[in-house]
């Protein structure tokens, strides 16, 4: 389905492949991945399992919309940046990559504040009130969290803030949505950058979290916690990682598995039933707290989470893993962490990469240390964009594998 917000230079600049059929998009991404990995993966054609597609329509469970206008002195808009423009905003009520509930919410929000003449935050002057609208909608549970992000109210006579935000809440509650509103929030953000920063959040309705389910487990999600933006794609991604780990285990239950860069503990919990114990390491304190809460809610008792830099944490641990899973940020594994990881000489390692180029850069190091690529698969986690994620199974060969036995 074509998107009316795509193509025109004056329209949204968010997607790349809206003018492709999805089959053409997958084929193009496959060609790019083959070109990227063919020269760094020995026996590439034997181990490469291609790219798995996901539903390109309505897949995103999180969107951050910006208040502004399309042109100087134009009407209030709430949406995405115009292609190639930093200050100009276009409303996108029919965005194809998110559920129709997103469009209903941004339309109602824009109309409500337009009718009241509420000012939006001007980045050059650092004046105005409305900044962003953060919307999260769980794919599998249908629960919705809406967060209105504004600058501080200065007490001027422009409006009564409590009355204004209360009316906004009531306008959303009156909508006929397919999903269910779990919470409506108001967050203050006075930072000069165009990113959302939580400087205090008030609950206008409901609660400040909701739940999503992945592979039978329940995960609590707050406005600013990390969670894969494609829930259905995450099931395919984590399912493939689990499949590779189970193949490596050969039916045995290892004593210890390390899940490095564990985020909110999604993978840690998914693989916990196949090991005596899993240790997750993550540098973001809020993510570690969420991981601990999610594990407790899911009744999982054989996981523990450590907050800190991966290299520093590993350097201070006496425990040695039997197997390792890594899911590093886009820049991939840092050299010190990579050296520490290959030094464990585990028989198998699962590498999840949110940036394929980072994995391609790290593969030669694994090969140098006696590993070979057993499987390499890609999941199209972000249809209509040029991004994909990869899952790779490394296995130790020769003397290294024998020493670990």
| Residues 274 and 303: beta-carbon distance below 8 Å | no
The answer to whether 284 touches 306, Cβ cutoff 8 Å, is no
Measured distance CA(193)–CA(190) in Å, rounded: 9
Tally DSSP H helices, then E strands, for the chain: 11, 17
Token pair for 236: 């395919």
The Cα 203–Cα 88 span in angstroms is 30
Question: Pairing state of beta strands 371-379 and 48-52?
Answer: parallel
303, 354, 378, 390: which is the annotated catalytic residue? 354
Q: Are 345 and 394 in contact (CB under 8 A)?
A: no
Q: How far, in Å, CA of 58 to CA of 99, rounded? A: 4
- b/e for 5-33, b at 16 or more Cβ within 10 A? bbeeeebbbbbebbeeebeebbeebbeeb
CB-based contact 128:66 (threshold 8 Å): no
Known catalytic residue at 390: no
- Measured distance CA(215)–CA(370) in Å, rounded: 33
Which residue(s) pair with 134 in the sheet? 64, 147
- Largest Cα span, the chain: 76
- Catalytically active residues, by annotation: 354
């Amino acid at each position: 389905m074509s998107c009316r917000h795509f193509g025109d230079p004056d329209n949204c600049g968010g997607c790349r492949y809206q003018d492709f059929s999805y089959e053409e998009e997958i084929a193009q991404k496959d060609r790019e991945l083959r070109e990227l990995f063919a020269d760094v993966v020995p026996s590439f054609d034997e181990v490469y399992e291609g790219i798995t597609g996901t539903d390109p329509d309505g897949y995103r469970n999180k969107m951050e919309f910006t208040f502004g206008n399309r042109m100087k002195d134009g009407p209030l808009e709430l949406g995405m940046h115009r292609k190639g423009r930093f200050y100009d905003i276009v409303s996108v009520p029919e965005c194809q990559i998110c559920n129709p509930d997103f469009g209903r919410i941004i339309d109602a929000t824009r109309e409500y504040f337009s009718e009241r003449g509420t000012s939006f935050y001007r980045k050059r002057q650092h004046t105005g009130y409305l900044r962003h609208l953060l919307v999260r909608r769980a794919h599998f549970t249908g629960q919705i969290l809406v967060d209105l992000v504004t600058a501080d109210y200065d007490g001027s006579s422009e409006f009564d803030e409590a009355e204004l935000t209360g009316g906004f809440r009531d306008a959303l509650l009156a909508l006929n949505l397919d999903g269910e509103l779990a919470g409506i929030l108001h967050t203050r953000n006075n930072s000069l950058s165009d990113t959302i920063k939580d400087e205090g959040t008030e609950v206008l309705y409901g609660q400040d979290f909701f739940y999503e389910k992945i592979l039978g487990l329940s995960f609590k999600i707050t406005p600013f916690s990390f969670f894969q933006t494609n829930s259905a794609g995450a099931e395919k991604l984590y399912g493939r990682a689990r499949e590779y780990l189970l193949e490596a285990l050969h039916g045995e239950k290892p004593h210890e598995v390390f899940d490095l860069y564990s985020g909110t503990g999604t993978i840690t919990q998914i693989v916990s039933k196949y090991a005596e114990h899993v240790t997750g390491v993550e540098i973001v304190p809020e993510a570690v707290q969420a991981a601990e809460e999610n594990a407790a809610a899911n009744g999982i008792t054989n996981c523990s989470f450590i907050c800190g830099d991966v290299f520093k944490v590993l350097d201070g641990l006496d425990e040695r893993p039997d197997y390792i899973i890594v899911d590093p940020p886009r820049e991939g594994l840092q050299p010190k962490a990579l050296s520490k990881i290959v030094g464990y000489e585990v028989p198998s390692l699962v590498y999840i990469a949110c940036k394929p180029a980072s994995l391609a850069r790290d593969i030669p190091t694994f090969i140098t240390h006696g590993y070979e690529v057993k499987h390499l698969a890609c999941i199209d986690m972000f249809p209509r964009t040029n991004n994909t994620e990869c899952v790779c199974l490394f296995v130790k060969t020769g003397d290294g594998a024998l020493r670990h036995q």
